[in-house]
Amino acid sequence: MNEADQPGFDVSSGNIPRHLAIIMDGNGRWAQKRGLPRTVGHKQGVEAVRDAVKSAREIGIEYLTLYSFSSENWNRPEAEISELFGLLRMFIRRDLADLHKNNVCVKVIGRKKGVPEDILCLLDEAQNLTSKNTAQTLIIAFNYGSRDEITDAVKQIASDVASGKLKVDDITDGTITNAMDTAGIPDPDLLIRTSGEVRLSNFLLWQMAYSELVFLDCLWPDFSKKDLESAISIYQSRTRKFGGLVMETGS
């Protein structure tokens, strides 16, 4: 059966991804199609973020990771970067209280270098305020690049070996996993990327070794709960093998 012909989303099955990761792509193209500045697309994208966080929580997804600003995004025009930072400020100031009220724990992954001090303070405030919340974990990948993350993990492990804290023969995949920004967070079960692009763009490369990937044609500002349910329906139709072990996605 073609994935497009799969039966609809079924929350009652219990077959829900525990961890969902999203590459939110298409803000600029959304604006361009309407003859609007790219900044308008980014603003509409923030509204889609708000709806996605709420929808994921309602569906029962425990962990939601959003690729909000990549290490490669520094190559964009300075004015656009400034706009993206401004939107992040607005999102945290406007939505942090609501996230806290709904028992959402906020975590941030990515490098701090180069990020404006006031942004770092806001991100720290969000993490500190919500650190004990348990209903859902919202992971914001900000100034994040997976190769940077892996490089930093290798440096940390090499330092531990050099100092005698760790023996080379004792290094396992678990050692590397625990050195990642996402230590303590389960790997994503499902990745969604919007806009029709079919690539990972340096996002969670280590963590997504066995994730299910769903690529949607809709542009991020148009992403709705219906699109989320459609992607989960595709996830529910698949059998996860994890390198050979046949296992239903809900197992």
75 catalytic? Reply is no
Residue 82: φ, ψ to 5°: -60, -40
CA angle at residue 212 from 207 to 217, to 5 degrees?
Answer: 115
Q: Write down the catalytic residue from 2, 5, 10, 73.
A: 73
Q: Across the beta sheet with 63-70, what order do the strands follow?
A: 104-109, 136-144, 63-70, 19-23, 190-193, 212-215
Give the chain's largest Cα–Cα span.
60
State the Cα–Cα distance between residues 87 and 177, nearest whole angstrom.
31
Amino acid letter, 75: N
Name the 3-class secondary structure at 140.
strand
Radius of gyration of the chain from its Cα atoms, rounded to whole angstroms? 19
27 among known catalytic residues: no
- Which of 2, 5, 15, 25 is catalytic? The answer is 25
Residues 234 and 100: their CA atoms lie apart, in Å, by 31
Q: Whole-angstrom Cα distance, residue 202 to residue 187?
A: 16
Name the residues annotated as catalytic: 25, 73
